[in-house]
Chain A
Amino acid sequence: MSRSALLYLDGVSVTFDGFRALNALSLVLAPGEMRAIIGPNGAGKTTMMDVITGKTRPDTGDVLFRGTDLTRLDEPAIARLGIGRKFQKPTVFEQLTVHDNLLLSLKGRRRPFAMLFARLTSAESGRIESILATTRLAPHAGRLAGALSHGQKQWLEIGMLLGQDPELLLVDEPVAGMTDAETMQTADLLRDINRTHSVVVVEHDMEFVRALNVKVTVLHEGSVLAEGSVEQVSANSRVVEVYLGR
């Protein structure tokens, strides 16, 4: 199982000052899959992302990506391995233009010296054009990222993920603060991205999760409560009790 899986978490536990943020969490993601993670606040969704991306080290458990042990690597190493992350609060480089935000995110050079002498290549320009088109940010390419609206920042951050071109995208609450129309557009965008990338989406918005129409994992108190289609988990009495019913 762990060999064929893209992402493999087994028995992962994390404790913060006595609080069990993750409790023997296990999760397997197949290559090419998109998975939605839902659960009440404090269920461990963000901590799980932190463990996968190297921000938090688990106390126990295995975290493997294509068979590579992620618990031994730090954030940049994991990012270079092919895992991208979009944060809950959009974090873009506000003092740089949209174009330059995307340029910095593009897969490739990462060493300071190489960056010093880097010139914009036509391949890079092409990539940026295409991402600008996908994220509908083309008219804003020359604007400072800090001047974008909240929804546009979310999209820019997704665009930066595309620029990184990771094998696996972790997307934390992508539609928080978005209008209904934007939410549906984002669902379309993620489904589109999923054609070529594996995706894990953490989201509260059940409409959005329904629109994604993928396998759902429900977390509760740091471990998996239920797993299955949207309909299956919605019908699960425990899920209704701890999460949906409230």
Chain B
Amino acid sequence: MIRRRPASDWAAAVVLAAACVLALLSLLPEARLLHVPAYIVGLAGKYLSYAILALAVDLVWGFAGILTLGHAAFFALGGYAMGMYLMREIGTRGVYANPDLPDFMVFLSWTHLPWYWYGFSHLAFALLMAVLVPGVLAAAFGFLAFRSRVSGVYLSIITQALTYALLLAFFRNDMGFGGNNGLTDFKDIAGADLHQPATRAALLAITALVLALCLVVSRMILRSRYGDLLVAVRDAENRTRFIGYRPEHIKLMIWVFSAVIAGLGGALYVIQVGIINPGEFSPGNSIEAVIWVAVGGRGTLWGPVLGALLVNFGKTIFTGVLPELWLYALGALFILTTLFLPRGLVGLRRRVRRDATPALEPGDGEVTP
């Protein structure tokens, strides 16, 4: 449990080391035996971005008992912030070679840049927005929802509504985010060519570093007295009120932190995947993220990372062989996990290791969202 030796620190170190090795091997000449092709580096970067999203979901679901079915919204918002910067970086290299406007705006016959695109020619500003926009949205949403004591399945439903509303909004051309097509055709980041193996290797290493840092910071938060309080609120919210705590504030803090992490993950995702479109807001994406966490093991920090990596690796393989069956496989995976591995793969390891001490079995009661 949280109090044991921090397995999450080991996970962070392993992820970081593995990503660095992969990145370095990708820089070997192609003829060499151990050379890693570019697409593998890209895939690994994508998986690690997803792992950051999974960690974000687990922070609120596993540790605060808030079953979010809309976290991909924060991920996508972070992605859009980064995508806007990458669009501005294209400059005159677009199809229309317009120095002031991204291609899609020229196509829509817009004459000047909307105000909310100002500042996005700077990477630092875009990064700031990638965490600020999800953070502020989460703060507003969480403040209202938690204050009204919306919880359980009702909260899950409104998180779905949130991401769906954003999906519809971003589909609209006049929103100014590229509509249906989204933002794509990126050229470079901070002057480095996005198609160069060295850039991609560096991005993979950076993503791993961000994930590792998120793991360590999350571990510090959960091991603090606040972390204990979070578990207390998760298991007996009403009781904390009568001791003088305000559960809505306690939940809000982890909720906002989680959204910020998700935004970061989304920003890193877009750089490496090369496109962001409204599809990222689709409710199914958020649910998939919950499945990664369930499979890996909620309520632990490295479980969701493991789950995100394995399920997405599986998805890559599966969709290559039997693409039309993937959703069935995913659904079956979720059902089987829920039935036979309520604590996920991490729980499997624990079950094997369980010693004579009949410590409290974290039963299903604790798993209620």
A interface residues with partner B (beta carbon < 8 Å): 53, 74-76, 79-80, 84-85, 87, 91-96, 100, 103-105, 109-113, 115-118, 144, 146-147, 160, 164
Q: A119: nearest residue on chain B (CB-CB)?
A: B225
B348 within 8 A of A: no
Q: Given that A94-B235, A95-B366, A112-B250 are contacting pairs, would A76 and B224 also be in contact in the complex, using a CB cutoff of 8 Å?
A: no
Q: Cβ of B221 and Cβ of A112 under 8 Å apart?
A: no
Type the 1/0 row for B281-294, where 1 means its CB is closer than 8 Å to any CB of A. 00000000000000
Q: Cβ of B228 and Cβ of A104 under 8 Å apart?
A: yes
Q: Cβ of B244 and Cβ of A76 under 8 Å apart?
A: yes
How far is it, in angstroms, between the C-alpha of A93 and the C-alpha of B245 when the chains are bound?
A: 14
Q: Cβ of A160 and Cβ of B226 under 8 Å apart?
A: no
How far is it, in angstroms, between the C-alpha of A96 and the C-alpha of B108 when the chains are bound?
A: 58
Q: Given that A93-B232, A146-B360 are contacting pairs, would A115 and B241 also be in contact in the complex, using a CB cutoff of 8 Å?
A: no
Q: B233: nearest residue on chain A (CB-CB)?
A: A93
How far is it, in angstroms, between the C-alpha of A115 and the C-alpha of B228 when the chains are bound?
A: 9
Q: Given that A93-B236, A95-B231, A104-B229 are contacting pairs, would A116 and B224 also be in contact in the complex, using a CB cutoff of 8 Å?
A: yes
Which single member of B1, B225, B243, B366 contacts A164 (CB below 8 Å)?
B243
B249 within 8 A of A: yes
The A-B contact count (CB < 8 A) is: 87
Contacts of B239 in A (CB 8 A): 87, 91-93
Which single member of B238, B243, B360 contacts A160 (CB below 8 Å)?
B243
Contacts of B231 in A (CB 8 A): 93, 95-96
Q: Taking each of B225, B226, B231, B238, which has the highest tally of chain A beta carbons within 10 Å of its own beta carbon?
A: B225
Secondary structure at the B interface, as helix, strand, loop or mixed, is helix
Q: Cβ of B229 and Cβ of A111 under 8 Å apart?
A: no
Q: Cβ of B241 and Cβ of A75 under 8 Å apart?
A: yes
How far is it, in angstroms, between the C-alpha of A100 and the C-alpha of B360 when the chains are bound?
A: 16
A-B contact pairs, 24 of them (CB 8 A): A74-B241, A75-B241, A75-B242, A76-B246, A79-B241, A79-B243, A87-B242, A91-B239, A93-B231, A93-B232, A94-B366, A103-B228, A104-B232, A105-B243, A109-B225, A110-B244, A115-B225, A115-B229, A115-B250, A117-B224, A118-B226, A146-B360, A147-B359, A164-B243
How far is it, in angstroms, between the C-alpha of A118 and the C-alpha of B223 when the chains are bound?
A: 11
Q: Cβ of B225 and Cβ of A80 under 8 Å apart?
A: no
How far is it, in angstroms, between the C-alpha of A39 and the C-alpha of B231 when the chains are bound?
A: 36
